[in-house]
């Protein structure tokens, strides 16, 4: 084969080179662009789902009562035959998880703890228990996991698992710890989160972007072919004409050159190329328009997802604020605060049933009315007859929220001074155990403002608000009961002290004087006996001594019941005298130091005096001490009385049996008496180093 034939065999035309070159270039560019867009969109969608999962996790964990959840698996809670329990605490926990699922339907929350077996998990609650029929983990259901490491890590910190696919769809799971009121981890909450949004984004790219890329790709390839043909056609014709001329067919070559010029309607080939490139630009613009439309649709989806996330966060914070607040006014103000974050309003209020007349409601919390009326000139609280106000009557009749788009078009709208600015009205009932206890309403000065979405959002706070109101009322009733009990105990102690004072006075004035008179009489008889009655005199002297001992015992008993000098000379002098007499009586070394304590009530004085009595009694009975230090001191606000000994002591941290002996029933009663007067008792003790008891009482 000669060289000429070889060159023909390996000849590649310029048109083919252009076509192949541009085809490879466009293929690489479109492949890279598609890969980048597909990867970026998938990663962004996955990141968004993970952020929503973390927010849902934290919001769900914040609403779980850790103390109640811990009690469910530490106490002996009976199981039903179907694997659940009738314990109301379980169903409160499940109701909250189901509430989380209603707020975020993609979330399937549950709680669990670590089991004793390797790889074992014990489920406590599951949102699926509220479904009909129920599904998911049952109460205290044991489960052996293939890889429990993320679940165990969720008992320590927030943990996310990689996305996975099963027969139910595309999921991402996360776990975070649940704490009790002491800050201890009692369990973890897990959320299986549907991530079908990622599949939807990927499918949308495959459907839209790939089709757009494919159409553009085919169009561009076709354009490249046409452009290369138009670009190379004159050259081919010129080459053919030159070849004919080179072969000696001059006439034929000239004719082809003339035909070549006749076939070229464009005098300048650059202009032709510009037209081709303009066409290419138009095609690329169409592609960009398609991509921008996809981006705009994704932005709308993102904004909707972000709004849903903000609403979920607000609801979680509102639920937490309402459930943790036991003050009624604070809870109602928090309700209006979070309502304003969900739905903008001009004015709002919370009205509760009048306890004196259930047919009327009265306002408790107002917001925004000061812009329209002077509330200081109005009689508060304002009470309204439910049947006389059309909006209230309709709400109580339906037992559901009511929207009045335009109050001027509503025939039964009450024309009150406070509400003349209201054109749109939205009211939501507060329901506890099936009974309406009140309502909260939002006002707007423009008609037709509130939408179905507004109505749905404000209804979400109805249940937690009603529970918060009920809890605040129960707390107020319990507080009032404790105050009545404290007053009763205080009155009982006062009666006891009055009775002790009376008995002490009778022992001192009557029995004591009678014994003194008896002793004087016996001594008189003893002095008049003749010398020959010595044996009788000795027996009579023993009687005189017995009367003296009895007199001293009665004096001590009267002094212990109620020292008469306490009200005359004060606590400091009384304790000083008592310590001297007690040391003489028990042979115990007592070092007393103190000062006058002005500002203490008579109840406080007698309480501190009883404290010293009981403390010294415990030292003699239990401490095996030889020395006691008593100190009375204080400042402008608090009086402090301490009793310390050098006895055997005990381990106060471990609460050994000796601790109960040291305190005794008497000290327990004194502790209650101190608490009734606003004080407290501190106990410090170490084995072998004695014990210190310190009583603290506030001054008046």
The predicted-structure confidence for 243-274, as pLDDT tens digits, reads as follows: 655 555 545 544 554 555 555 555 444 344 44
* Residue 685: pLDDT over 90: no
Percent above pLDDT 70 for the chain: 74
CA distance 38 to 40: 6
How many whole angstroms from its chain centre is CA 33? 46
Kindly report whether the peptide bond that precedes residue 361 is cis, defined as omega within 30 degrees of 0. no
Q: Are strands 627-634 and 589-593 parallel, antiparallel or unpaired?
A: parallel
Beta strands in 15-119 (DSSP E): 107-114
Burial tier of 264 (Cβ tally within 10 Å: 0-12, 13-18, 19+)? middle
What average pLDDT does this structure show over 574-581?
88
Q: Which tokens go with 568?
A: 């005359």
- My answer on whether 353 and 456 are in the same domain is yes
Where a domain ends, among 194, 219, 238? Answer: 194
- My answer on whether 46 and 70 are in the same domain is no
- The answer to whether position 150 is within a domain reads yes
Q: Are strands 120-126 and 141-144 parallel, antiparallel or unpaired?
A: antiparallel
Top-confidence residue, 242 or 593: 593
Q: Which tokens go with 668?
A: 């327990």
- My answer on whether 19 and 78 are in the same domain is no
CB count in 10 Å sphere of residue 128: 19
- The answer to whether position 221 is within a domain reads yes
Beta strands in 398-448 (DSSP E): 402-404, 424-432, 435-444
- The answer to whether position 1 is within a domain reads no
- The torsion defined by the Cα of 350, 356, 360 and 363, in degrees rounded to 10, comes to -20
What average pLDDT does this structure show over 363-383?
74
* Residue 601: pLDDT over 70: yes
Residue length of the chain: 700
- My answer on whether 142 and 291 are in the same domain is no
pLDDT in tens, 121-179: 999 999 888 888 888 889 999 999 999 999 999 999 999 998 888 777 788 999 999 99
CATH for 424: 3.30.450.40
- My answer on whether 684 and 612 are in the same domain is yes
- The answer to whether position 308 is within a domain reads yes
- The answer to whether position 404 is within a domain reads yes
* Residue 630: pLDDT over 90: yes
- The answer to whether position 4 is within a domain reads no
Query: Which residue has 């329901």 as its token pair?
Result: 431
Give this prediction's pTM.
0.38
pLDDT in tens, 29-60: 777 877 787 788 778 888 888 898 899 999 99
- The answer to whether position 5 is within a domain reads no
- Please report which helix (H) or strand (E) contains residue 521, including its range: helix 512-528
- My answer on whether 484 and 444 are in the same domain is no
Instruction: State the Rg of the chain over Cα.
Output: 47
Where a domain ends, among 441, 460, 479? Answer: 460
- My answer on whether 48 and 137 are in the same domain is no
For residue 509, what are the domain limits? 465-562
Q: Which of 601, 600, 603, 619 is nearest to 666 (CA)?
A: 619
The domain total for the chain is 5
The pLDDT-based confidence of 93 (bands split at 50, 70, 90) is very high
Whole-number mean pLDDT of the chain? 78
- The answer to whether position 134 is within a domain reads yes
- My answer on whether 144 and 29 are in the same domain is no
3-state secondary structure 132-190: CCCCCCCCCEEEECCCCHHHHHCCCCCEECCCEEECCEEEEEEEEEEECCCCCEEEEEE
- My answer on whether 298 and 334 are in the same domain is no
Where a domain ends, among 517, 545, 562? Answer: 562
CB 564 within 8 A of CB 577: no
- My answer on whether 301 and 232 are in the same domain is yes
pLDDT in tens, 486-498: 666 556 556 555 5
- My answer on whether 206 and 284 are in the same domain is yes
CA dist 148 → 115, 119, 173, 184 (Å): 11, 6, 12, 21
Angle of CA points 543, 549, 553, to nearest 5°: 140
DSSP state of 426: E
List, in sequence order, the alpha helices (H) in 324-387: 328-342
CATH for 100: 3.30.450.20
The pLDDT-based confidence of 276 (bands split at 50, 70, 90) is very low
- My answer on whether 302 and 204 are in the same domain is yes
């Amino acid at each position: 084969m000669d060289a000429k034939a070889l060159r023909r065999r390996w000849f590649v035309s310029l048109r083919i080179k252009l076509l192949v070159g541009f085809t490879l270039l466009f293929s690489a560019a479109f492949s890279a662009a598609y890969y980048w867009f597909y990867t970026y969109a998938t990663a962004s969608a996955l990141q968004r789902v993970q952020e929503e999962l973390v927010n849902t996790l934290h919001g769900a964990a914040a609403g779980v009562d850790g103390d109640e959840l811990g009690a469910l698996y530490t106490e002996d809670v009976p199981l039903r035959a179907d694997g659940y329990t009738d314990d109301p605490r379980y169903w409160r926990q499940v109701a909250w998880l189901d509430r989380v699922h209603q707020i975020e339907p993609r979330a399937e929350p549950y709680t669990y703890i670590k089991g004793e077996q390797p790889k074992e998990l014990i489920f406590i609650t599951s949102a699926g228990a509220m479904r009909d029929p129920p599904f998911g983990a049952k109460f205290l259901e044991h489960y052996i996991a293939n890889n429990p490491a993320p679940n165990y890590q969720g008992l320590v910190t927030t943990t996310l698992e990689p996305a996975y696919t099963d027969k139910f769809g595309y999921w991402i799971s996360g776990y975070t710890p649940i704490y009790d009121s002491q800050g201890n981890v009692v369990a973890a909450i897990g959320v299986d989160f549907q991530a079908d949004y990622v599949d939807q984004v990927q499918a949308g790219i495959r459907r839209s972007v790939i089709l757009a890329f494919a159409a553009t790709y085919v169009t561009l390839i076709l354009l490249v072919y046409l452009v290369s043909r138009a670009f190379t056609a004159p050259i081919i014709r010129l080459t053919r004409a030159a070849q004919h001329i080179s072969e000696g067919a001059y006439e034929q070559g000239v004719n082809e050159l003339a035909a070549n010029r006749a076939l070229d309607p464009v005098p300048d080939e650059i202009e032709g190329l510009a037209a081709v490139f303009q066409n290419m630009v138009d095609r690329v613009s169409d592609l960009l328009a398609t991509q921008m439309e996809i981006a705009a649709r994704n932005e709308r989806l993102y904004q909707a997802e972000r709004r849903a996330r903000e609403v979920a966060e607000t609801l979680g914070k509102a639920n937490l604020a309402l459930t943790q607040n036991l003050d009624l006014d604070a809870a109602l103000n928090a309700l209006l605060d979070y309502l304003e974050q969900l739905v903008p309003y001009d004015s709002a209020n919370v009205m509760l049933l009048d306890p004196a007349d259930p047919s009327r409601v009265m306002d408790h919390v107002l917001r925004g009315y000061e812009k329209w009326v002077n509330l200081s000139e109005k009689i508060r609280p304002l009470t309204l007859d439910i049947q006389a106000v059309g909006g209230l009557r309709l709400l109580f009749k339906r037992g559901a929220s009511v929207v009045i788009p335009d109050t001027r078009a509503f025939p039964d709208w009450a024309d009150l001074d406070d509400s003349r600015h209201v054109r749109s009205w939205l009211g939501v009932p507060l329901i506890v155990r099936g009974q309406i206890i009140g309502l909260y309403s939002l006002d707007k000065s423009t008609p037709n403002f509130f939408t179905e979405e507004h109505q749905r959002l404000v209804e979400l706070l109805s249940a937690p608000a009603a529970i918060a109101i009920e809890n605040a009322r129960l707390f107020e009733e319990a507080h009032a009961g404790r105050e009545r009990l404290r007053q009763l105990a205080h009155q009982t102690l006062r009666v006891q002290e009055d009775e002790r004072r009376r008995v002490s006075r009778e022992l001192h004035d009557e029995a004591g004087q009678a014994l003194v008179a008896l002793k004087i009489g016996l001594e008189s008889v003893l002095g008049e006996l003749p010398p020959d009655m010595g044996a009788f005199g000795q027996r009579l002297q023993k009687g005189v001594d017995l009367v003296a001992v009895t007199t001293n015992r009665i004096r001590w008993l009267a002094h212990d019941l109620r020292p008469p000098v306490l009200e005359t000379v004060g606590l400091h002098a009384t304790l000083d005298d008592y310590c001297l007499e007690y040391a003489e009586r028990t042979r115990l070394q007592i070092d007393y130091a103190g000062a006058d304590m002005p500002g203490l009530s008579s109840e406080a004085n007698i309480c501190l005096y009883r404290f010293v009595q009981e403390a010294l009694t415990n030292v003699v009975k239990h401490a095996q001490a030889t020395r006691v230090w008593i100190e009375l001191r204080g400042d402008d606000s608090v009086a402090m009385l301490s009793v310390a000994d050098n006895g055997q002591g005990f381990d106060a941290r471990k609460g050994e049996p000796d601790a109960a002996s040291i305190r005794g029933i008497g000290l327990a009663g004194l502790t209650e008496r101190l608490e009734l007067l606003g004080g407290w008792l501190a106990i410090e003790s170490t084995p072998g180093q004695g014990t210190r008891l310190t009583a603290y009482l506030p001054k008046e």
